[in-house]
Structure 1
Amino acid sequence: MRATRYTSADKDVWDVFLRESKNGTFLLQRAYMDYHSDRFVDHSLLFHNDKEQLIAVLPANERDGVLQSHGGLTYGGVICDESMTTPLMLTVFDALLDYLRANGLHRLMYKTIPHIYHRYPAEEDRYALFRSDARIYRRDVLSVIHSDARLPFQKRRARKVAQAQKLGLVVEPSNDLAAFWSILEANLLAVHGVKPVHSLNEIRLLSDRFPSEIRLHVCKENDVVVAGVVMFNSTQVAHVQYISSSDRGREIGALDLLFATLIERDYATQAYFDFGISNENDGRELNVGLIEQKEGFGARSVTHDYYELDVS
């Protein structure tokens, strides 16, 4: 088994392998990964066996002698197909660690891919990490609904949905990212003093590249957008990427109606509905109010682990 560094000449091979993998999503295709190539020094890896067959890939970047899997993505780790076995993954990790040492990279920062994104079981890497004495340094909590076993909405959430329905609010897909982004930016600045991870131009670029996967849904009152959600839709997971509501939207329960519609109608056929995280500070601080809102729709917790490994 040998590891080699990704180059642009590998793009087509990478994307074909990714689409056929058991744990990859569109976020790990090069058209998504490379949109912020100016901010990250890409150091992705490909793993071939002695027959020159591509066995696995690792989306990654390099920073200060550290290999990160990948600093600009929500999740990462070794991407493989259904032929991957646990003994084979151990050889992949042997090749990975040999590569890091040979190239002066002294540490590995590794993001796993939550199991809800796996088409087939794909946690061989977690065993390899354990065998390598990697340390969990961060654990996020995703609030997830299993569509085949949905819990009922909390009574308070159900009342809010009923209130919004009586007002005749309309929930629909939208291409008006600018209208939603103005609400989102104002809220993030006022509450957290930050900007969205993606600028308006970036999210437009990505939605143009992945129109079936990146979708804006809005709630309107009298044709005015009062709340919106940007969804990242992969093979079996509908993931909430951005959420925001105007002051008026909060008064009338616009987000409650929007989420109810997405869960019960627009993404009801997806295996999982993922609200995302409600924690900060490497998972050690929990926003109780935020996670209670998500759990009010019947979501429950799935953990997302991050590992660190010193290879010097």
Structure 2
Amino acid sequence: MKLERLISIVYMLLNNEVVSASELAEKYEVSPRTIYRDIDAICAAGIPVVSYQGANGGYGIIESYKMDRSLLGSFDVASLITVLHSMSSIFDDERAMETVRRLQTIQKNDQLPHLSMDMGSHRVTYNESLRKLRDAITAKQVVRFDYINGKNERVARSVEPVSLRYQHDAWYLFSYCRTRGDYREFKISRMTDLLLQPERYERRHEASPQRSAFEQYRWNDHKEVVLQFSSEALARAMDLFYESDRSFNPDGSLTVTLKLDNAASEQWLLGVMMSFGDEAEIVAPIELRQALRRKLEKMLQRYREA
């Protein structure tokens, strides 16, 4: 309880110019003598508390110890706090929370949050993998895992992790793959049996590329696809195809035009369209319509056999 009170007193002093001993005693429901001892303990810990005399006297922390308010605007502070809160919830990072507390010392007390962010703090197993990988990156520790590649093959990989990247609503690991002898990017959600090895690596790695493999081929030759969704499927279609060209039709349906870049993307789209049932249709190209028909016929045959 005393430690919690000491920490709270420090941040109260950081957020105020001067706080009287009687005010602190009333807030924490202790005697002024206890507050004097707390201030001595805080000073002994290396935090420069100054005593001010007079009718409006009390305790404060010297300005040079506080973060300069002029360095960041209120919008910058609020945005940084929001992002750090989200990251700390995923990585269980006390260092990030410490930075949040320091930033809160220069945030106006009456400032309401204008931005909220949750990057998946509820995904316990997923976040545990992220924490393991970040620890491995920090310690330069070799990592082993099984991975489902784009061909739906389960393969074992041994890598030297370099960095984590969040993009396209997913986390990726950029690493040097010992199995392939080259740099590779792995999607975290496709990893299983993730294990940190006792071995440390000494290799000096190049920085993560500015563009991932996904981004490098997304602007190459594409196949244009036209989809149509009924008015009963608008919400989900809007969520899934947010970055595609979309237009509403007089009957309330939605037409979506997008470009596919490889066979894996085609298979993904066929699965998505099947999940819509009779509320969606592939309008073009004809070969993709035929591919979906073959899948549906194969599925129907399987259920007939049952």
Normalising by structure 2, what TM-score? 0.22
User: Which structure has the higher relative contact order (CA within 8 Å, separation 6+)?
Assistant: 1
More strand by share: 1
More helix by share: 2
Normalising by structure 1, what TM-score? 0.22
